[in-house]
Structure formats: C-alpha cells, structure tokens
Structure 1
Amino acid sequence: MANHRKSILHFCLTITAAVGLATSGSLLPVPPAYAAESTVKLVKLPESFPKEGGTFTAEVLVSASDMIAGTVELKYDPARLEVVDANPQEPGVQVDSGGWDAFMIQSTDTSKGLISYSKAQLGDGPGRSFDNELLFKATFKVKPGASGPHGLSIGEAKLVNSAAKYIGVDTILVPVTPDIDRGPRSSGGGSVSVPQHAQEGQKVYSEEQIRNALKEGMLHISLADNERELVFPPNLAELMSGSGSVSVVKGSTALVLPFELFSSLAALLSEENASNSRIVIRVDVMKSPERDTLLEQAQKGEGASIIPIGDVVELQAAIQEKDGSDRTLPAFPKPVKLVMTGNGQANPAITNLYFLSDNGALEYVKGRFENGRLHADLHHFSKYALLQYSKAYSDVPQKHWAQEAIRQLSAKKIVKGVSETNFAPEQSVTRAEFAALLVRMLGLTSGSASVFQDVTADKWYYTEVNAAAEAGIVTGASNNRFIPDASITREEMVTMLIRAYAHVTGKSIQASIPAAFADKGQVAEWALPYVDFAAERGFVEGREGHLFVPSGQATRAESVQILMRLINNGEV
C-alpha cells in the first residue's frame, strides 16, 4: 500500500511541476482494475437559484469507503454564471487543514466553465471513509441578462481506494431547478415551453423541446403545484442517447428517473403501437380529505402515533396507448432516486419513508437522512410519505435500557410486539425469529427451495430462513436441520449478526484485540472469531460481572439492542 501511496503523491507533484495547474489535472494513477463493489454519490446544491446579479454556492459531497485520492469536475455555463470563489481559495498545491492530511489541487477554466478539484492522502495509513461529506464548494454569481439552464453538472469523477483501484462512481444532482430566475418572463431563452394542446395539470414535451433542453445527459424539470403529469414521446430514452436521467422536482419531492426506466416502458409495446403512445410520469400530492383518511387508516392499523412530516405523494410511471390505457412495469430495471424534504419538525430516529397501500397498511422503505432530506431508492411507484412513527408498549417503560432501540426498530418495521400493547422484552428469541429480524433489516430475499429438512413451506419463517441461508448468515445445526423453534443462544446470535455484517460489507471479521469476557473460555470454538469481532466493534456487551454467558438464552430486548448497534455502525 505504501508503494501505491507514493506513486499517487509522485503523480501529484509531477502534475504540479509540469503544468503549474494551468489546466485541470488528475492525481490518479492508472489503477489495475475497477473496484465495482463500491459506489460514490456526488450531490449538487442548492434547491433554487437567485435572480440575475445574485449569488449562490454549489456543494459537491462525497460518500465513499477506503478513499485515498480523487478528481472531480464541476461544470457550469460560463455565459450565465461567473465564479466568485472556489474552495480552496488559492490555486495550487496545498495541505488540507480540514481534518484530512492531503495534497490538494484546484483549478478553474472560466472559458470552458470547468472547476477541477483533486486530492491525495498523505502517509501510508488506510483510506478514509466519507459519509456525505463536503469535498469542495464553489460560489457563483448570475451574470446580467442571464436566463435559461444554469449548466451545473458533475463532469469527470474518479476516485481511488488504498489498493489503487477505481471506486465505482454514481453521480447525482439533487434537488435541482432547471432555470435561472429572472422574474416574470415569457417562455424561451433556454426554457421549455408547454404546447397549447397540453391538458390541464400536464406538462408535455415534444422531441424538439427535449433536444433543446437536454444538458449533459440530464433533463431538469420543475412542476408547479397545479401540474401533476409529465408527458414525453415514447422514444425518450433514444433522445437521451441511451444514458443520463430526468430529474423532476415538485414541492418537497425530487425524483431522478434513469433512462433505463423509459426504455423499459417503451419496450412494453410493439413498434406499431408505440408510434401512437406516450410516456406519462405522474407526481400527485394527495389532498384532504383523501390524505387524512389514508393516514387515519394507517394509524389505526399500526396502533401507533403517526405524524406526516411532509407531503403524501402518489407516483406513477406508464406508457399510455392511443386508447388512453396505461401499461406499467411491475418493478423498475434500475432504482428511481427519491429525495423528500420534511417540514423541519421530524425526529430522524423515528422518521422514515413508507409505502402506503390503499387500505392504509404501511411498508417501510429503507432510506437515509442527509442535510435534513430523506434519500431512498424506489423499485416501484405507488403512494409514499415521510412519517414520524412512534410505537409504545405497556411493558417497555421509557427508562427501560432497550426502550429507544425497540422504538426505532418498531418504526422501521423490523420488530413488532407479541400483541398490540406488549413487547415482552425479557422473553427468549428463537433461531427462526432472529434470522427473520436480520433478513428484514437487510432487505434480503430468497430465490431457492429450503436447504433444511425442518423448515417447510407452511411455516411463517420459511422465506426468511431460506434467505438467511442463501446469504451465508445461517448454516444449520446438524443433519441438515436448522432447529428453528429452539431458543437462540447469545453466541449463536452474535455469530449470525457478524455473518450478516460480513455479507453486507464484504469485510474481514478478523479482530485485532481478543474479547476480555471473564467466561470467554466457555465460548464454543466456532463462535470465538465472531464474539471477538463483535466485542471489538462494540456490537455486544457482557452481562453482570463482565460475563458473556455464551450458552445463555438471548432475550427480545437484547436482540433488538444488538441490531440497533449494527445499524448505528453506519455500514448496513
């Protein structure tokens, strides 16, 4: 790793000496291969843009694991925007004082509208992990008379890990507004006008308008409060040249629709029928009384306090035939990225995104909060809402040591009570129950028949145990049996948990410091590495007297607490 690091820093100094930062360079060596299992997300802000003469700051954020170097370009339209400031303030090689000991290079090409920022870590330590952290920012001023698309986009983005391999990069711009605001004006000047034949509540785009509005493979659209449908020609994916995405903002909801969605919708129809069809994207904010009725049904069905933190939106994607009938996809070929902004009153610990069925039943959708916004990947469209979900149990008082974990995992629909009002925190957990908890937490699915003789299709845990087995989380007891109804021991619980961690992260589970439990000698040999790793990472603690009690039965409260610690670790 030291040789990799030296080559990167040597490359950095070579660039500096050779070109004097007159042009954008890269700190990156030519890596041997891609590390496709990693991804990076770059997010551009802000939500809206000022009138001419005003200023705003665009921020580029990065999320990556084991990163030691990177080069990222921010593109803008130099005819409309002027760079006021780019961080770092002075061009050239600098030492970062922001917590990362690294060389930095920043250059701005005002003729091309390009800001290039490169960074390489010093020393021979491991790469750094970033969780939606600021990489760099630039302040722009809107030029006099400017109008139309601002042209802001992420250009080339290359990131490298400590093995000198590229990290797979996923770039996204959210939320976005398509045009610079010049106040009241007629359509034109780069904006897309809506044809006169658009029906009420629709925004219709022709092929010519799409070609004119498309910038850098991205089509940015804002919907007014009275607009609920976007209408595109069926060959939208072709117009996008087989790449890029369409970003849509309506109120507190932002969507990034990949071109694969549009190509898959078009493929639902024959070539003959496609000529008279159109793609329709619906973004409809539910109003009262329908919205209130749906939320009341959800609260009654869940037996919990449910408070909406933002809009309840109904999303649809269809290709519409000439007769007006819709054809839809059962699942998207690539996730649609959703960003929802709450009202600022949310408790992030118990606020989540939920899919709402027509009868008010809730289904948790995994997401993450970043800068007050909830980000999630959607695999199908329906009704969605950002809700604060608080479930209380009569046998779990607020002072109970696991109360907060039980409350948070209840909100995520990972755990539930033994009845409407009781959780039974001291009750033991079966092997099948804990396997099911892990599967729900990770969102695993099963695609094969059971590998265990005692896990049959008529059991409630059939799908969950099979999914856990496929992921390598459970391996059974003996003679091809899982013993699903046996109470799980603490060493079995820890073993399953760490196998789940390894499955998701792909990381080694080798502990650097052995656990120091007073009864460690009683831990089964097969469980030792898992117990050591869990103790080192703080996933598990001992009971009274610093005893691990490996053969002791794990309680429901203990199982929830250990799952919560894994979630709080931020890697699953």
Structure 2
Amino acid sequence: GTSNPVFTGTITGGLSSDGLIATYATSADQASNVGNYAIEATLNDPNNKLGNYEVTKTSGSLSVTKASISVTTDDATREYGTSNPVFTGTITGGLSSDGLIATYATSADQASNVGNYAIEATLVDPNNKLGNYEVTKTAGSLSVTKASLTVNADDATREYGMSNPVFTGTVAGGLTSDGITATYATSADQASHVGNYAIEATLVDPNNKLGNYEVTKTAGSLSVTKAPLAVTADDATREYGTSNPVFTGTIVGGLSSDGITATYATSANQTSNIGNYAIEATLVDPNNKLGNYEVTKTAGSLSVTKASLTVNADDATREYGMSNPVFTGTVAGGLTSDGITATYATSADQASHVGNYAIEATLVDPNNKLGNYEVTKTAGSLSVTKASLAVTADDATREYGTSNPVFTGTLVGGLSSDGITATYATSADQASDVGSYAIEATLNDPNNKLGNYEVTKTAGSLSITKAPITVTPHSISRWVNNANPFLGGVVTGVLNNDDISVKYVTLAEQSSPIGNYTIETEIIDPNQRLGNYEVTSNTAKLNVYDVPKLTYATNDTASSVIGPLGLPATDDEGRSIQWVSSNNQFVDVTTGYVQRPSYREGNKSVTLKATITADGAIYEAIYPLIIIANSNTSSGTGASYYIEAVTANGKQRVELKLDDLKKGFVTIQSDTEVAEFVISQATLTQLMAISPSMKLQFITAKDEMTIPIQEMAVAGNNHDLTIKIGRADKATEFVEVKKSLGANVWAGPVEFNVTGLDDQGRSSEISAFSAYVNRKIELDAQDSDFATVVLWDEEKQAFTFVPAQFIKENGKVTAIVKSKRNGYFFVIDRRVSFIDLQNHWAKSDIELLAAKFIVQGRSEMNFDPNGMLTRAETAALLVRAIGIPLNNTEFSFSDVDGKWYEADVIAAEQAGLIKGYSDGTFRPNNRVTREELAVMLTRAIAYANPSLQTENSVLALADVESISSWAEDSIYQALSLGIIKGDQQGNFKPQAEATRAEMVTLLSRMLKLLNFI
C-alpha cells in the first residue's frame, strides 16, 4: 500500500571514461499484492561503448510485505433472559479502496447463563485484499446479569401427632424453559410440640439455572394444635386374702415415641372385704409430652371373691402283715393365721388283705374360719403290697448222654407257718445236646398262702459237657497207579444212637507216586449231633508201593525183549501175584520164557498183567513189551528206516541209519521255512523197538520241534503221522486276530501241528501230547522281559499263554517253547498296567503275568490285588500257567457246569492239581487258604517237572503246629523250592485266606523255577 522506494545497484567493470550508467525499475506499484517482484537494470550508453563489453545483468528483488490492520470490538451488557443488543466496534489501518468492513457477534443467546461472553469481530473482504494485511483483533465482552425470582410459601395447620400436610406456594419470575420449581418443608415432625413452625421453600433447579436469578423467599407458617388422649383402666378380680393382681388398662391416642404410660391402683388391700373397688389410672409422662394432649380418664373395677382351700391325703404303702404307717397330707390355701389343720385315717388294719384302702382327711378349725373358704378334699390310698419270697436253684453239671443229677436250691423269705417249699427240675434229658439248660423251681403251697408273696425265682444252670469220641482209621497199602481200596476204621464213644458215621479219605489218587499218604477222617453228621462230642481223630497211613519189577535178560528193556523174563511170585508186601500174558505164544507167564517172532512177522507187542487181591480190592499192573524179531538183532550192520520230508521243493525221502538211531537222538532237517515230515506207523514201531527213549528233532530254516518217540507212538495210535512246522501261510486269516492282541507281534503265526492218517486215509489232528514237547522259534527282534509266546485257541477264539524262555543263539533271540499243545503260535511283546497297583509290593509280578495272558484284572483298569482268591480262580490260573490241555469233558462237577471256569476246573482235576468234595461239588467260590494254595502249587510243579521233588524234612516255621497234617509235605516242598516263605517272625499263617497278589507272586516264582518264563 506504500510507494516504491528509489532502486539502486552497482556496475562492475568498464572504463569510467566510457560514461556507462544504469537505471532500475520494477513492475510493482502501490496497489500490488504482497509478494516478490523483479527489479531490472537498464544501461545508458551515451558514448556508444557498450559494444566493447560482454554484459551480465543480475536482477534485484522488491519484497512487498503485509500492512497492519486492527479491529476492536466494543463491550456490551444485558439481563439474563433478554435478547442481545446490536454489537459495534472500530477498524484502524488499511486502504479504504480495499473495501474492508467488520461484523460483530457472540456465542451467548437469550438462555445463556449469567456471566461474560466474548464479542468477536469478523472481517468482510469483498475485494480479496485481506491477504495483504497482518490483522490484530481485540474482542469485546458481553456481560449477562442476574434476573429477579420471588418464592412465597402458603400457611398450613394440623393436629399434634399427625403427619404434616402437603405444603404449597408460588414461584414468580424466571423463564419457563428453566424448569425451576419449589418444594416446601418445615422442621416440625409428627412428634413436634403444639406451636407454630416456619414452612420454608427449597427451589428445585433441574437445569442448574438458579445462578441466573436474584431470589427472594417468603416463609409460610404451620400451626400444630393439641390431640385427644383417652385412658381406660381394665376390670379385675381376685380371691379373698390374696394380693392385688397387676392392674392393666388401655391408652388410646398419643404417639408411642412420647413414652406416655399409665399405672393403675385401688384402695383395696389383701384384707379388704369381698366387694367391688374402683381402679384409677395415673399417667406417667417421662418426656413431658402431656401438654400436647386433651386427656380423658375412665376408672375400672376390682372384684374380691372367696378363696379356695384344698386338702390332699398322701398315698402310703406297706407290706402285707405290717402295721399302718403314720399318714400325712397337705392343706393348701387359706391364711396361716386361721390355724386350720387336718388329721388322716383309714379303715385298714394289720390284718387287712393286700389291696388299696382310702385315707380320709378331717379338718380342725379352732378359729371358725372355714366359712371363708370353698373346701376341696382328695382322699389318699393305702396300698398293702405283697411280701418278698426268693427261690434260687443251684447250678449243676453232667456229661452228654448221662442222667440228670438231683437238683437243689434255697428258699428265702416267707413265714415258716405258711409251709411253702420248692422242688427243682430242667427240660434237659439224657439225649439233650451239649449246652446250658435252665433249672427251674416249682413252689409247693399247701395252705394257699402264695397269693401274699411277690415271688422271685432265680433259675440255676445245668451245663451238659461234651462226651469223648475217638475215630481211628485202618492203615492199608496198595500198588502204585491203582485205585485206592475201601478205607475203613473204628469209631468209639457214640451215644444215644446218634447217626454219626465216618468217611476215611486220603490225598492219594490213582496217579499218586510211591510213598506214604495220610488217611484222614471226615465225620458225617446228618443230624448235627457232633457238637455233643469232644472228637479225637487219629490218622493212619496208606502205603503206595511199587508194582512188581520184571527181570530182563542182559541188555534187554521193555521195548526191546530178546531173552527170558523173571516174573516175581510175590510183591514187596509178600502178597501172591497172578500173571497173565496177552500172547502165551511169545511170553509164557509160568516160566518167563520168551519166543521171538520171525523176521517176516516183525516185532510183536505183548502185554503182561500182574494181579493181587488185598484189603478187599484187586490191584493190577500192565507191562507193555515189544518182542524183537530175530532180524533186528542178528546183524550189527543194521537196516535202514525212512521219513518223508515235503517242502516247497517237493518230496524227499530221508534215510535213518540204525547206528544213528541207537544213539537216541536223530535230526531231520529242511532248508525251507515250512516243511512237513511224514513217518509211517511201521517206522514208528521199529524206532520204538530200537530205543523207546529216542527223540526226533525236526528242523526248518527258522523253527524246530523235538518229539520223544514215545509221544509220537501214543499220538499215532497205529496211524501214520505228519508233522508240519514253520511259518504258516495264514497271515491274512489272522489279521483281525492280531489286532485283538494289543501288542507288538514279533513272529507268527508259526505252525506246529501233528496229524494222524489211518490206513483208510482218514486224518485226525493231534491237538496235544501227554508230555511237554520242546520247540524253537527264531526271532528278528530284541530281547524283552515282556516277550511272550501265545497259542491261538480256535475253540475259545482267544490267545492262551505258552511256557517259554528267550535266549540268544548266534546273535539272534530264540524262543524255547515247552508245550503239550499243537497249533498256531505267536511271539509278542505286550505291556499291561493297572491303576490300583501304584506302590504295591506285587506290581511287577502282576503286570508281568498279565502281559503274558496268565492273570487278568477284575476290570480293564483295576486288578484288585488284595481281593480274596477263589478255588475256581486258582484252578484257572494254574491251568493257564503250566499249559494243561483238556483231555475230555466227560466228567464235570455239578456246580461248575456251564461256568467260565468249567474247562479249567476239569483240566486241573484231570491233572491231579485239585479235588472235589464227596457230594460231587467243587465249590468254586470258596476261598483258598495259604496251605491249600501250597498244596495246589506243589502238585502243579510235580505235574510239570517231577524231578524237582525234594526229600521231606522238619518244617522250620514258627507256627508249624497250626499246619494241617495233609498239607505238611506240600508246604515243605514249597519252602525248600523257594516258592513260599515265612514272614519276619517265621510264621506261614496256613489258615489265612490267600489274596490275588499273593497268588500271582507264588505263580511267578513257580514259573521261573520251571523255566517257563
């Protein structure tokens, strides 16, 4: 907005004599907007010298800066609730030609609260020139002042004790939109005294607008007037001579908080005459509130009536024949000063009968006061009771079966003149059972005096004690492998024709080995009479001794007889023997002469039978003999025998040399993994003749089976035999079966099967041998404590444990299997655990045998180690553990039929591990004691390996006396073999019931002893 200054510059170079000068100018004028404008130089060359120069021009710059302009707003004022006035102000600076003007405004409106509000200026720039100015604004101030507001409370009135009425009033002034109202209250409440109280207004300002007003309040007046109060005394009554009752009444009106109460009194006292007396009320005003009431009182009435006098004669009692006691009683009611008393009497005298008699009262009135009373008399009762008489029977004793003794007793009390006496008897007679029987007294009353007595009888006791009875079995003897003869004995001491008999039993069975067996007694008492006897049971011995021995010629055996036989005439007990030959042509039992068959006839089987008669029984012994034909012994160079091997490579005839056979162990080998070996019945017979103890070992590429020739002969039963060994081609058939194992399968199915083929071409599978047969299974796996061999039981559709040990041979693990059974074998690695075995002492044994399919839990998760063991469980565990096959099911106990354990119980019974009871039951759920378990375990060991038996000696146990005689031998065997042990005190606790954990531990020890695991 200002004029341009004079522009200057400099010329550098050129000769001053050339007279060159410069002028400077810009395009900007006074009205140019703020900004930068070029200042250009123009050269004046008066002497025309510029052509001698190379000219360089540098422009200058004109900077046009902003001009100052200020706007000042004027202050203003108004009252709250009125409209804003017109605002003004001034503008200083700026070009008038720019046309700048100002408008003024504030944020406050009519409803804005009292206070100061800025008045701001806004510049109006019609020509867009404002950018050329530096603007300074000074705001004005609008002052909003308070308006007037008037509040008047209305007067009111109420009665003392009443609630305040709703108070009213008026509010004048103020904006309706502010919503200001008033409430009215007073300091007086329901309990405020009579008088005047100010009614004050309180403004309600929901929108916080009161600050905008100057408020004027005018109070109203509340007038509190007196209330009515009515007091009424209640009527009352009492008997003459008694104290006044507590008088009552009612107060109607008044506030409970005032605490105003009333007391009530009368002029009548305890001695006042019968009649009516006023009861007056007196108000009690602890808080000085009565001035607030108009009081009205109404008196009550006291009625004094006659008093009661009660006379009660006391009851009394005495025994028959005694004098009357002094009678007493009570007089209740009346004044002591009246001196009224009573006397008491009855009609009963010393001779009166037992019963009740009235005791009557008579009043004594020395001062004539009875007229003041209503008298009630209650008679007492004299009870004449019975006298005491005590009768006591003396105790007595006798033995069962004898007559009763003469009973006695004592009689105490009663008059001797009454002549009462007592007799004594009991219900027990000579045949009564052992026990205690009451001895009762019966009183004799010749003069009918007992009705006068309370009789107490004390019974005596007749104690009948046990009579002695003695049972003695007869000692007997028999041959081994024969049934027991009739067992008999003598019973002495049975009385009263009691139906008591004796059964004589022994643990010895037909299959029991040679030795002495205890004969024990089982008393049969169908009528439960044995409790009357003290029984002495003696034992006897059953001597099982060997059958007579044949005497063979030098180098002869039963399976290879050439020379004559020696047949003894008597056995070891000197009993005469009768001999019978199945073929007298070859063996003459009279001379023992042997006639050998010719070569063409072949070897001959001859059976000798020895018989004796003793103890009412017949004993037999069978001697199977093979008479060797002349050709088998006439040449030392020997004939040849053959076995046919069938493999994937075809059939091959394997020659067996006689010289090799005589060594007793022959190996037949195939290079394939699966092979069949066929041996004819004729070859079997010939091999038996050469060496009955011979073993044949059949080997494939990975597996082998060693079979005693005797087992093959028995299994063949005059048939050709096929032995199949190797990895069975049945993998797909066993896929689902393997899944059920829940284990790692290291090998299987591995087949070990023997089949018989008769001369008509019919085949039959040999499911089991009579002895354990060794097998080997080569594994491609590491050794493991949990490695187990199992057999698939097709009938049960389940896996069963097979005894086996695992050894390392040529760097590989091999399973050495001992089993009587044939079929499909698997080698597995399986782990089992139970949640209730944590920290249990038998945990390792239980989990090991559970992994081997020998033991099972009560459920999938729990084993129940401390659960009691039953006979059925014991039988099943032993059968599983030592692999006992079931020969037949023709025999079964009556109480196991159809049960899960039926086959196991039958197999255990057939193997001689268990026995049933004489009534044909097995009692599968009976608990098993520790001594019973020891007997079963030692029988199982004898079944599996008879060579482990030891000679009996003295039992080194602290509680040996508590061991049953029939269990002594077995417990000694189990102790000496390390199967069972005593506790720290040396006790075996034979009658204690065995737990499942104890069974598993003993089973584990037994299997390790047998090398079965």
> Normalising to structure 2: TM-score of the pair?
0.30
**Greater helix content:** 1
Structure showing greater Rg: 2
Which one has more relative contact order, counting CA pairs under 8 Å at least 6 apart? 1
> Normalising to structure 1: TM-score of the pair?
0.49
